[in-house]
A and B are shown apart, each in its own frame.
Chain A
Amino acid sequence: MGLKFAKFIRKIETEVVVARDSFQVEAADRGKLSEEFVKKSAVLYITEEFGKKNALREGEIVKVTRGGRSVNLRVVYNDTAPSEGAMMPNSIYANYLTDFDSFKRFRVTIEIADGNVTTPSEIIELIKSG
Chain B
Amino acid sequence: MPITPMEVYKLLPKTNCRKCGEPTCMSFAFKVINREKNIEECTPLFEDDRYSRQRDELLKLLEPLKEATETGLIVTEDLCVGCANCIVVCPVHAAEDPYGSAAGSGPKIEDPIFRLEDGVLKVINMTKCRRYGKNRILCVACRENCPSDAIRFLEG
State the main secondary structure of chain B at its contact with A: loop
B100 smallest CB distance to A (angstroms): 23
Category for how many chain A residues contact B: under 10
Complex: chain B residue closest to A23, CB-CB: B81
**Can you name the residue of chain A whose Cβ is closest to the Cβ of B81?**
A22
- A residues 8-30 near B (Cβ < 8 Å) are 22-23, 26
Bound state CA distance, A22 and B119, in angstroms? 11
Count how many pairs of residues, one from A and one from B, have CB atoms less than 8 Å apart in the complex: 4
- Write out the residue numbers on chain A whose beta carbons fall within 8 Å of the beta carbon of B82: 22
Interface of A is mostly: helix
Closest to B83 in A: A22
Name the residue of chain A whose CB is nearest to the CB of B147: A80
Chain B contributes a number of interface residues (CB within 8 A of A) equal to 3
- In the complex, residue of chain B having the shortest beta-carbon distance to the beta carbon of A22: B81
Q: How far is the CB of A29 from chain B (nearest CB, A)?
A: 11
Contacts of B81 in A (CB 8 A): 22-23
**CA gap between A80 and B119 in the complex, in Å:** 22
Q: Which residue of A lies closest to B119 (CB)?
A: A26
Interface readout for B123-143 with A: 1 if CB under 8 Å, 0 if not? 000000000000000000000
A22-52 contacts to B, CB under 8 A, are 22-23, 26
Chain B residues, CB < 8 A from A23: 81
Digitize A70-102: 1 where CB-to-B-CB distance is under 8 Å, 0 elsewhere.
Answer: 000000000000000000000000000000000
B73 to chain A, nearest CB (A): 22
* Binary A-proximity of B77-91 (CB < 8 A = 1, otherwise 0): 000011000000000
A23 CA / B119 CA spacing, docked (Å): 11
Complex alpha-carbon distance, A26 and B119, angstroms: 10
A23 CA to B80 CA, complexed, in Å: 9
Residues on the B chain within 8 Å of A22, using CB:
81-82
Which residue of chain A is the closest to B79 with respect to CB atoms?
Answer: A23
Complex Cα gap A23–B81 (Å): 7
Name A's B-contacting residues (CB within 8 A). 22-23, 26
Q: Would you list 4 pairs from A and B whose C-beta atoms are within 8 A, ordered by A residue?
A: A22-B81, A22-B82, A23-B81, A26-B119
Closest 4 CB pairs of A and B: A22-B81, A23-B81, A26-B119, A22-B82
